[in-house]
Amino acid sequence: MLKTPNPRPRPGRSRLKVIDFHVHIGLKEHWHAWVHDYQKATGSEFYERYEELTDPDRFAFYLESRDVAKAVILPEISPVTTGIVSNEYVFDFCRGRDIFVPFCTINPSLTLRPAEEFLKYIRLGAKGIKLYPSYNHFYPNDPALYPVYALAQDHRLPVLVHTGSSVFRGAKMKYADPIHLDDVAADFPDLVLVMAHGGRGFWYDKAFFLSRIHPHLFLEISGLPPQNLLKYFPDMEKNIDKFIYGSDWPGVPTIWSNVEAIRRLPLAEASKKKILYGNAARILRLE
């Protein structure tokens, strides 16, 4: 029987259920050196506990012991900027483990038929798709992607889109302006769109405003220091049904540290529950 070390005790641990909407997996060889440099600089315990946290069963235990009920697991096909974690690797990692919610990805620069590619992964069990405009160098409102959005809308699958800044070599931020999703949200009114990183850096106000005017456009807050959320989004509580928690693991010190920081925010308890669990559960149709 597989033996997994007991979780470390954590002072003030939250008992709120958590859905982590932004979890990267992969082996060291999947990512470029500068990605490792960044993640190590955050103090990520991924490197300290590498063998444990790259094993699917032990990683599932690690998440469960930190109150994570579900984790959206993301592939990445960004050979110029970060590296390649294939869709197939993600599906294999997630298979048979209910805690994991596998998403797929497509890189429009590397496939001539993105909708056919997406449909293949839907049939393999993808529960959503992540797009990386600034890493793969495309605008998310490019008409070539509209068949992908149509498929996602028809299958009621969420589309997670990187918005805002990136520290990695080769990223081009002009592609990550949330305004491009205004077209997509208008043209696909029933499509669930999620702005990863909430327009980080330049576009917090724009992302917030867009999420208010489009009923199915959401703000995901991975990669943002939780203690600054009310600085970035001072009217957050007025739009609380649109905020979704994500850790951006392994680019954070621990999987639970940001959860604890959100728990300490001066927000209503009901609002914290929506951020950490309720809004994502609705998007993923878990309840």
Has residue 116 been placed in a domain?
A: yes
Has residue 34 been placed in a domain?
A: yes
Instruction: Give the pLDDT of residue 15.
Output: 61
Read off the pLDDT band of 122 (50, 70, 90): very high
**Structurally, how many domains does the chain consist of?**
1
Read off the pLDDT band of 6 (50, 70, 90): very low
Has residue 3 been placed in a domain?
A: no
Has residue 2 been placed in a domain?
A: no
Has residue 12 been placed in a domain?
A: no
Do the strands 129-131 and 100-102 form a parallel or antiparallel pair, or are they unpaired? unpaired
CA-based R_g, the chain, Å: 18
Instruction: Give the pLDDT of residue 2.
Output: 39
Percentage with pLDDT > 90 across the chain: 93
For residue 114, the domain's CATH number is 3.20.20.140
Average pLDDT over residues 158-172: 96
- Output the pTM of the full model: 0.93
The DSSP result for 201-261, as a single string, is: TT-HHHHHHHHHHSTTEEEE-TTS-GGGHHHH-TTGGGGGGGEE----BTSSS-SSHHHHH
Has residue 8 been placed in a domain?
A: no
Has residue 110 been placed in a domain?
A: yes
Instruction: Give the structural domain span for 103.
Output: 18-282
Average pLDDT over residues 34-54: 95
**Whether residue 28 has pLDDT greater than 80:** yes
**Whether residue 14 has pLDDT greater than 60:** no
